[in-house]
């Protein structure tokens, strides 16, 4: 087991209170199955699949073996003008996994890069189709689409945006879908709020749809606090996009690969977008990788002109990195053999019962669940939004449970291998902690 380093100074940690962390570090040094081990030898139950990514749990043999075999065989191959078999094998396998004709795959290294890729493809697609004026992008308040400029711009989390100037031009946002008190403590899709999809019509009127390239939404908003779309909302977005020739992008970076109890949110909601962004669960979080699923009609539109010409001036040094491809193939094998892409469906009711059992606690303002996701919203301390949930986070960690917080929401998304007894441990722990936080 690694020793705690003496100097924590040089590493500038992402999305972290660096000084508070370095004053009282929480160091993970090992992981297996449902648990992490800390450097002081404690077992921590993983209530968040790392960062919504280790869907098959930790240290899974098929994945680690595939990676070590691949590193020995071929560590890297150039991504441009050269291929390697596993990239094609993986793309074909992913295409089969996704319903409909979302059957062309572009590889990236993260969710953020998948989002940038999808936004660029949408604008370029309209241009090659003779509609170069379609450049506007529509996101949604409270959306999270990664930390790069495009994703930050279509994203709708104020803290992530406010320090970074004017962002990408030509972006607008639909209203978020949260806040109707009739939807409190909802166990799946809220009954109220489908009419919020009409907000897209408002933006179409304002900007004229002929100027809009694409709408991007997370099917379930995760990072900003677990917001499940009202029943019929995504379908209605699809209809409005179709009516106006606008592309619809689902950002499935967290909902993809079994999180909702179906392989993708596309399956769960029965709505087929034009592009789907993924990452995280694609490789079980083990090696960075993302993938954009593209409708055949979009892909084929680019495959014109002289065959020797590059069709899309976009890509990354590590697009389809061979080790990442091996990790993804090992991950898909694991998902398939253990039925993990649909396992959440059989646990969802138990999970929801356990989560909603916290409803009686005085600090709990709302609980939202879907598949193997839960958001437990706490009432905020006066003038200190987020402080109460973070206090709960620290107490959970001390008690051996990893949760995530955003604002005053405790967000849970365990590995899909979780057993019922471990679900009980998660919510028993949180109950105990919520009785202790001020």
Ligand X SMILES: Cc1ncc(COP(=O)(O)O)c(C=O)c1O
Site residues (CB under 6 A) for ligand X?
110-112, 115, 144-146, 218, 222-223, 251, 253-254, 279
- CB closer to ligand X, 223 vs 331: 223
Q: Residue 242 is inside which H or E element, if any?
A: helix 233-244
Nearest to 286 by CA among 330, 252, 317, 318: 330
Say which DSSP state 349 is in.
H
Report the alpha-carbon distance of residue 275 to residue 105 in Å, rounded: 10
In the complex, the smallest distance separating the C-beta of residue 164 from ligand X, rounded to whole angstroms, is 16
In the complex, the smallest distance separating the C-beta of residue 115 from ligand X, rounded to whole angstroms, is 6
- CB closer to ligand X, 213 vs 282: 282
Asked if residue 118 lies in contact with residue 275, where contact means CB atoms within 8 angstroms, the answer is: yes
In the complex, the smallest distance separating the C-beta of residue 139 from ligand X, rounded to whole angstroms, is 11
Report the alpha-carbon distance of residue 224 to residue 254 in Å, rounded: 12
- CB closer to ligand X, 403 vs 434: 403
- Pull the structure tokens for residue 185: 């403590």
Torsion, Cα of 363, 364, 365, 369 (10° steps): 160
In the complex, the smallest distance separating the C-beta of residue 269 from ligand X, rounded to whole angstroms, is 15
Nearest to 53 by CA among 271, 222, 189, 276: 222
- CB closer to ligand X, 53 vs 246: 53
- CB closer to ligand X, 251 vs 377: 251
Residues 6+ apart with CB under 8 A from 60: 284, 330, 331, 334
CB count within 10 Å of CB 141 equals 17
In the complex, the smallest distance separating the C-beta of residue 110 from ligand X, rounded to whole angstroms, is 4
In the complex, the smallest distance separating the C-beta of residue 225 from ligand X, rounded to whole angstroms, is 12
Report the alpha-carbon distance of residue 41 to residue 255 in Å, rounded: 32
- CB closer to ligand X, 222 vs 344: 222
Residue nearest to ligand X (CB): 111
């Amino acid at each position: 087991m690694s020793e705690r380093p003496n100097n924590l100074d040089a590493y500038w940690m992402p999305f972290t209170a660096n000084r508070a962390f370095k004053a009282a570090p929480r160091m993970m040094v090992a992981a297996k199955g449902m648990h992490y081990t800390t450097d002081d030898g404690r077992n921590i139950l993983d209530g968040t699949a790392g960062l919504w990514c280790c869907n098959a749990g930790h240290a899974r043999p098929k994945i680690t073996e595939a990676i070590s075999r691949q590193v020995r065989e071929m560590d890297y191959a150039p991504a441009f003008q050269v291929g390697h078999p596993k990239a094609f094998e993986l793309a074909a396998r992913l295409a089969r996994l996704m319903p409909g004709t979302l059957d062309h795959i572009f590889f990236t290294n993260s969710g953020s890069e998948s989002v940038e890729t999808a936004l660029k493809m949408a604008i370029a697609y309209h241009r090659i189709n003779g509609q170069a004026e379609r450049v506007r992008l529509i996101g949604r308040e409270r959306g999270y689409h990664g930390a790069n400029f495009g994703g930050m711009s279509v994203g709708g989390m104020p803290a992530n945006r406010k320090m970074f100037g004017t962002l990408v031009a030509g972006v607008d946002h639909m209203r978020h879908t949260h806040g109707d008190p009739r939807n409190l403590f909802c166990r799946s899709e809220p009954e109220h709020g489908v009419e919020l999809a009409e907000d897209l019509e408002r933006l179409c009127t304002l900007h004229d749809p002929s100027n809009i390239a694409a709408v991007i939404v997370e099917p379930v908003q995760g990072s900003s606090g677990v917001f499940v779309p009202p029943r019929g909302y995504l379908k209605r977005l699809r209809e409005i996009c179709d009516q106006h020739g606008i592309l619809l992008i689902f950002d499935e970076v967290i909902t993809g690969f079994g999180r909702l109890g179906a392989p993708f949110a596309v399956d769960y909601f029965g709505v087929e977008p034009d592009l789907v962004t993924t990452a995280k669960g694609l490789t079980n979080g083990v090696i960075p990788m993302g993938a954009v699923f593209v409708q055949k009609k979009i892909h084929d539109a680019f495959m014109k002109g002289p065959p020797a010409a590059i069709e899309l001036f976009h890509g990354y040094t590590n697009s389809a990195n061979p080790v990442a491809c091996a990790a993804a193939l090992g991950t898909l094998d694991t998902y398939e053999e253990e039925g993990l892409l649909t396992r959440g469906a059989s646990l969802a009711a138990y999970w929801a019962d356990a989560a909603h059992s916290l409803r009686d606690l005085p600090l709990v303002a709302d609980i939202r669940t879907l598949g193997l996701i839960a958001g437990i919203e706490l009432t905020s301390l006066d003038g200190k939004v987020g402080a109460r949930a973070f206090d709960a986070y620290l107490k959970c960690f001390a008690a051996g449970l990893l949760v995530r917080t955003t604002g005053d929401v405790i967000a849970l998304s365990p590995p899909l291998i979780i057993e019922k007894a471990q679900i009980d441990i998660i919510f028993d722990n949180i109950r105990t902690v919520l009785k202790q936080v001020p």
